[in-house]
Structure 1
Amino acid sequence: MIYLNYNNLDSETQERLLAKSKEEVTYRLGEDLKRFAEKHHLDFEALLHEEAVKNLYSYTYVFNI
């Protein structure tokens, strides 16, 4: 087995995983993030991107070869 982190993946895979992570974060935290962004005058998309990247680094990627 090979253990990788998000940085070790190719750019196409990173983009695909980032899109999925954004969907997951929006599902779990979407309303809370929107309220937080409005309250603190932040860009919601930038905040969503930041949370999605944090979410990606919480995963361990394992490949069987």
Structure 2
Amino acid sequence: MVYLNYTNLDNETQERLVSVSKKDVEHEFGNDLKRYAKEHHIKYDTLLEEEALRNLYSYDYVFNI
């Protein structure tokens, strides 16, 4: 669960969320992503960024107003 202040959804907060998501994805699927990137000649960092953004939709958010 991710707790956010509704009035503070600035760029810094969004970057922090993507960073947390990247760590989660890398921890969970890092080896598989590296293998997939190598097999399909894709940059690992690009693939990780895309998967991290997709992963953000799986979080439960709580907004404090």
Fold shared by both chains (TM-score > 0.5)? yes
Does residue 31 (structure 1) correspond to residue 24 (structure 2)? The answer is no
Amino acid at match of 2:25: V
- RMSD of aligned C-alpha atoms? 1.5
Gaps of 5+ in 2: none
Q: How many residues align?
A: 58
Taking the TM superposition and a 5 Å limit, the aligned residue runs for 1:1-65 are: 9-65=9-65
In the superposition, the TM-score normalised over structure 2's length comes to: 0.80
Q: Could you tell me the percent identity over the aligned residues?
A: 60
Following TM superposition, the consecutive aligned residue runs of length 4 or more in structure 1 with deviations greater than 4 angstroms are none
**Corresponding residue SS for 2:58:** coil
